[in-house]
């Protein structure tokens, strides 16, 4: 019998993982998953993951997916009934996915509930769109489908059988049909409006009736092969379910100490009461004897993690990251220093700290299982990291194309326009295979990163810079690292796909002793337009951007934006033939490297690829003996290369 969530080491190099619950606070959290996975050690070679889940919290789900995807062990995923919503995303981390024919997978658009004004709603909608893009990338990596096709499937709340999953790339192998599957006691299933009747019948069948609909007469079986009682198959361990419910109820009441012990006892004694109903009773009790006319501080109960959410909101407000201004003003933790917040994360959860020195108390807040203070600090630091990445002034993303790589092996890329034409196929004739030649470039990922520490001394000294300025600067450094790699290809005259330098004379993609004027810009455009393939056929490559040092940018912008040419009377009727033909982009890096040269580029000429499409830096923490606090690693996995030299033309001023 499987528990709701379990990780076990079956052998020195094999682990069995079961996710039979919602993803998130009420079920399988990413924090607990990471802790249990790490406890298995570094020698794992095989992970067998069993999933029967309705989905749940998207951010916990993405974190679990990344933990599995980045783990070096081989991963086999078994869908033991249902993989819906975020559970289907976690399944995509498997190297092999096995599904019974009558198991189901469901994918849909992320959704949630938001309060606030119109601006809040628009920001939340933008967040959902970003989340959807992240989910689609996981499906793309496994299935090979286009982002457009997957977006349409998510829009329709698509349900797929095991056979359909194998046919469409969501799974790799079919297993024997299920006779019965464990009931899922989750209100999330009520949100799914297009659930097929056959999966409803298996999930919600009365006890003892699972699999009974098959009219075929029973065949006698040898005792050694007797099938387990369907009632036992269809119903999870009642004691495990009760223990899970009790833990959730206790967590909801934990922030209030002994204030509501009587109500807590009543809720625990009523075995028919759910954790959600217990939370409603607690909220009703909190609302007694209060009137709207008396303003007072209050804590908003949203997901049961009242203390953690309030501490996090207080820190985000101090870091300038708060988005919920309405609730922030009522937060009782707002006036606290980092040291006081560390203390509150323990005391307000019932953890005694009598006799502890400040250093010991802060250290305990990082490591105690009841405190998530360390994770809250990392969440705030991560937002600062992303702020630095997003606000960095680097502009390479404007003139390069974005790619996705799923591992660190070199990948082949096809150059610009090498295919040519389609041959005529006469009546009754066979189609022939086309070839692309050997001119494609290779691209591979590399890892870039650095460590910083959130120390106990910094918490005691209330040093917010460790959560704001330092990770923000590291986010800017991450983007600057990618920009340096991109510009090094151009200014360093990198070796390209044919083994020659990017601007080798045989490539005919340079123009020397040229002025920055209409005539020479046109000549540079003609160079790019004139490239042909190996058969002498035109490739018709068009420049899209002009990349210039800062000292030439203003003049280029004037030339490209003018209605007439320099020296002509404004009323002469002489038009500017290159007006707005490309977008000028200035670069301080070019100003330093070569202030007299500028470039025409086609966006497809240079590619920047990211591991699994994650185009922002990643942050993770580790409690260690070498640092008195939390050691934090910032990294990004990226690769850059020139895909085709014919998409870059260099012009040197006279």
Q: Are residues 324 and 449 in the same domain?
A: no
Neighbours of 411 (CB within 10 A): 20
Distance CA 445, CA 609 (A): 7
Q: Which long-range contacts (CB under 8 A, 24 or more apart) does 41-45 make?
A: 43/12, 43/13, 44/13, 44/14, 44/15, 44/71, 44/72, 44/73, 45/13, 45/14, 45/73, 45/74
Q: pLDDT tens digits, residue range 159-171?
A: 999 999 999 999 9
Distance CA 510, CA 499 (A): 18
Q: pLDDT tens digits, residue range 388-444?
A: 899 999 999 999 999 999 988 888 887 776 556 677 788 888 877 665 555 568 888
Comparing 535 with 542, which gets the higher pLDDT?
Answer: 542
Spell out the SS3 assignment of 286-347. Answer: HHCCCCCCCCCCCCCCCCCCHHHHHHHHHHHHHCCCCCCHHHHCCCCCCCCCHHHHHHHHHH
588: tokens are 């301080």
Question: For residue 176, what is the domain's CATH number?
Answer: 3.90.226.10
| Mean pLDDT of the region 448-459 | 81
Q: Are residues 363 and 264 in the same domain?
A: no
Q: Does 224 map to a domain?
A: no
Q: Does 218 map to a domain?
A: no
Provide the pLDDT for residue 420: 61
506: tokens are 């045989």
Reduce the DSSP state of residue 514 to 3 states and report it. strand
Tell me how far CA of residue 47 lies from CA of 8, 43, 81, 436, 519, in angstroms: 10, 11, 19, 39, 64
Q: Are residues 36 and 106 in the same domain?
A: yes
Provide the pLDDT for residue 331: 77
- Pick from 81-95, 219-233, 262-276, 370-384 the range whose average pLDDT is largest: 81-95
Comparing 376 with 484, which gets the higher pLDDT?
Answer: 484
In this model, does residue 550 exceed pLDDT 90?
yes
Alpha carbon dihedral 427, 429, 431, 433, in 10-degree steps, equals: -140
Provide the pLDDT for residue 214: 40
Q: Contact, 77 vs 98, CB < 8 A?
A: yes
Q: Are residues 564 and 473 in the same domain?
A: no
Provide the pLDDT for residue 347: 82
Q: Are residues 473 and 338 in the same domain?
A: no
Q: Does 478 map to a domain?
A: yes
Residues present in the chain in total = 654
What percentage of the chain reaches a pLDDT higher than 70?
A: 77
Q: Are residues 390 and 337 in the same domain?
A: no
Distance CA 314, CA 299 (A): 12
Comparing 512 with 348, which gets the higher pLDDT?
Answer: 512
Q: ∠ CA 381-383-384 to the nearest 5 degrees?
A: 65
Q: Are residues 151 and 16 in the same domain?
A: yes
Comparing 641 with 233, which gets the higher pLDDT?
Answer: 641
- Pick from 100-104, 203-207, 312-316, 541-545 the range whose average pLDDT is largest: 541-545
Q: For the chain, how far is it from start to end, CA to CA, in angstroms?
A: 80
Predicted confidence band at 200 (pLDDT cuts at 50, 70, 90)? low
Q: Does 425 map to a domain?
A: no
Q: pLDDT tens digits, residue range 47-72?
A: 999 998 888 888 888 888 888 988 88
Distance CA 181, CA 236 (A): 10
Kindly state the DSSP code that residue 354 receives in the 8-state scheme. Answer: T
Provide the pLDDT for residue 113: 61
In this model, does residue 499 exceed pLDDT 80?
yes
Q: Does 14 map to a domain?
A: yes
Q: Contact, 479 vs 394, CB < 8 A?
A: yes
What percentage of the chain reaches a pLDDT higher than 90?
A: 31
Q: Are residues 339 and 381 in the same domain?
A: no
Provide the pLDDT for residue 377: 82
Letter string b/e over residues 127-155, b meaning 16 or more CB atoms within 10 A of that residue's CB: ebeebbebbbbbbbbbbebeeeebbebbe
| Mean pLDDT of the region 201-221 | 40
Predicted confidence band at 212 (pLDDT cuts at 50, 70, 90)? very low
In this model, does residue 612 exceed pLDDT 80?
yes
| Mean pLDDT of the region 445-454 | 84
Q: Does 293 map to a domain?
A: no
Reduce the DSSP state of residue 173 to 3 states and report it. strand
Provide the pLDDT for residue 176: 84
In this model, does residue 226 exceed pLDDT 80?
no
Give the phi and the psi of residue 223 in degrees, each rounded to 5. Answer: -55, -35
Between β-strands 411-413 and 441-443, what pairing exists: parallel, antiparallel or unpaired?
antiparallel
Q: HSE of 187 in the Cβ direction (CA atoms, 13 Å)?
A: 5
Q: Are residues 159 and 194 in the same domain?
A: yes
635: tokens are 């990294």
Residues 6+ apart with CB under 8 A from 374: 365, 366, 367, 454, 621, 623, 630
Domain that holds residue 361: 305-371
**DSSP string for 233-290:** HHS--HHHHHHHHHHHHHHHHGGGTTTTHHHHHHHHH-TT--HHHHHHHHHHHHHTT-
In this model, does residue 327 exceed pLDDT 60?
no
Residue where the block lists tokens 């660190």: 408
Q: Are residues 168 and 203 in the same domain?
A: yes
| Mean pLDDT of the region 192-210 | 50
Distance CA 67, CA 49 (A): 13
Q: Contact, 104 vs 128, CB < 8 A?
A: no
Q: Contact, 518 vs 562, CB < 8 A?
A: no
Whole-number CA gyration radius for the chain: 30
Residues 6+ apart with CB under 8 A from 396: 482, 483, 486, 487, 608
Q: Does 358 map to a domain?
A: yes
**If we measure between CA atoms, which residue out of 81, 84, 20, 19 comes closest to residue 54?**
84
**What is the chain's mean pLDDT, rounded?**
79
Tell how far CA 199 is from the center of its chain. 29
- Pick from 62-66, 314-318, 352-356, 610-614 the range whose average pLDDT is largest: 610-614
**If we measure between CA atoms, which residue out of 489, 491, 529 comes closest to residue 509?**
529
Q: Are residues 531 and 624 in the same domain?
A: no
Composition of the chain by helix, strand, coil, percent to 5: 40, 20, 40
In this model, does residue 231 exceed pLDDT 50?
no
Our separate counts of H helices and E strands in the chain read: 22, 20
Distance CA 95, CA 585 (A): 42
Q: Are residues 71 and 128 in the same domain?
A: yes
Kindly state the DSSP code that residue 114 receives in the 8-state scheme. Answer: -
Predicted confidence band at 241 (pLDDT cuts at 50, 70, 90)? confident
Quote the longest CA-to-CA distance of the chain: 102
Reduce the DSSP state of residue 465 to 3 states and report it. helix
Reduce the DSSP state of residue 622 to 3 states and report it. strand
Q: Contact, 597 vs 556, CB < 8 A?
A: no
Between β-strands 629-642 and 618-623, what pairing exists: parallel, antiparallel or unpaired?
antiparallel
Q: Does 310 map to a domain?
A: yes
The number of distinct structural domains making up the chain is 5
Q: pLDDT tens digits, residue range 141-150?
A: 999 999 999 9
In this model, does residue 83 exceed pLDDT 80?
yes
Provide the pLDDT for residue 256: 66
């Amino acid at each position: 019998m499987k528990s709701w969530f379990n990780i076990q080491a079956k052998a020195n190099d094999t682990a069995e993982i079961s996710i039979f619950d919602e993803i998130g606070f009420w079920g399988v959290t990413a924090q607990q998953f990471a802790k249990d996975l790490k406890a298995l050690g570094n020698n794992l070679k095989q992970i067998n993951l069993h999933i029967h889940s309705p989905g749940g919290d998207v951010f916990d789900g993405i974190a679990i997916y990344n933990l599995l995807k980045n783990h070096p062990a081989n991963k086999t995923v078994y869908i033991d009934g249902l993989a819906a919503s975020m559970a289907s995303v976690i399944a995509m981390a498997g190297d092999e996915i096995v599904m019974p024919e009558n198991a189901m997978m469901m994918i849909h658009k992320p959704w949630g509930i938001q309060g606030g004004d119109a601006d809040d709603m628009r920001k939340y909608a933008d967040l959902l769109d970003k989340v959807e893009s992240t989910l689609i990338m996981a499906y793309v990596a496994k299935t090979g489908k286009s982002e457009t096709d997957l977006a349409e499937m998510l829009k329709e709340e698509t349900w797929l059988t095991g056979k359909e999953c194998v046919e469409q790339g969501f799974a790799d192998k079919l297993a024997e049909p299920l006779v019965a599957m464990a009931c899922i006691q989750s209100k999330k299933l009520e949100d799914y409006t297009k659930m097929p009747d056959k999966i409803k019948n298996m999930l919600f069948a009365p006890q003892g009736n699972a699999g009974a609909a098959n009219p075929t007469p029973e065949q006698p079986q040898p005792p050694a092969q007797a099938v387990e009682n369907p009632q036992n198959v269809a119903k999870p361990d009642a004691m495990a379910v009760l223990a899970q419910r009790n833990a959730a109820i206790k967590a909801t009441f934990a922030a209030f100490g002994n204030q509501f012990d009587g109500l807590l006892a009543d809720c625990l004694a009523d075995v028919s009461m759910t954790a959600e109903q217990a939370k409603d009773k607690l909220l009703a009790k909190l609302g007694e004897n209060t009137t709207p006319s008396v303003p007072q501080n209050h804590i908003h109960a949203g997901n049961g993690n009242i203390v953690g959410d309030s501490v996090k909101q207080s820190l985000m407000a101090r870091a300038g990251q708060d988005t919920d201004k309405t609730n922030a003003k009522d937060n009782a933790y707002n006036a606290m220093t980092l040291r006081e917040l560390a203390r509150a994360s323990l005391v307000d959860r019932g953890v005694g700290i009598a006799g502890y020195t400040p250093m010991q108390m802060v250290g305990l807040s990082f490591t105690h299982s009841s405190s998530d203070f360390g994770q809250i600090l990392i969440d705030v630091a991560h937002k600062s990291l992303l702020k630095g990445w997003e606000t960095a002034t680097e502009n390479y993303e404007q003139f390069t194309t974005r790619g996705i790589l799923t591992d660190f092996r070199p990948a082949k890329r096809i150059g610009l326009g090498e295919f040519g034409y389609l041959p005529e196929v006469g009546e009754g004739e066979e189609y022939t295979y086309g070839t692309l030649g050997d001119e494609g470039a290779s691209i591979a990922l590399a890892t870039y990163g650095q460590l910083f520490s959130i120390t106990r001394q910094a918490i005691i000294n209330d040093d917010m810079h460790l959560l704001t300025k330092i990770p923000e600067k590291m986010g800017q450094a991450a983007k600057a690292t990618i920009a340096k790699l991109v510009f090094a290809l151009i200014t360093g005259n990198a070796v390209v796909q044919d083994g020659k330098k990017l601007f080798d004379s045989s490539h005919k993609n340079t123009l020397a002793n040229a002025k920055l004027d209409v005539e020479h810009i046109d000549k540079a455009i003609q160079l790019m337009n004139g490239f042909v393939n190996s058969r002498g056929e035109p490739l018709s490559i068009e420049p899209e951007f002009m990349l210039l040092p800062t000292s030439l940018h203003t003049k280029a912008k004037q030339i490209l934006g003018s209605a007439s040419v320099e020296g002509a009377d404004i009323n002469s009727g002489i038009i500017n033939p290159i007006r707005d033909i490309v977008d000028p982009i200035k670069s301080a890096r070019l100003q330093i490297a070569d202030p007299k040269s500028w470039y025409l580029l086609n966006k497809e000429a240079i590619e920047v690829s990211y591991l699994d499409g994650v185009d922002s830096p990643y942050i993770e923490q580790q409690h260690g003996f070498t640092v008195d606090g939390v050691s934090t690693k910032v990294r990004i996995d990226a690769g850059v290369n020139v895909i085709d030299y014919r998409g870059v033309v260099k012009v040197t001023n006279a």
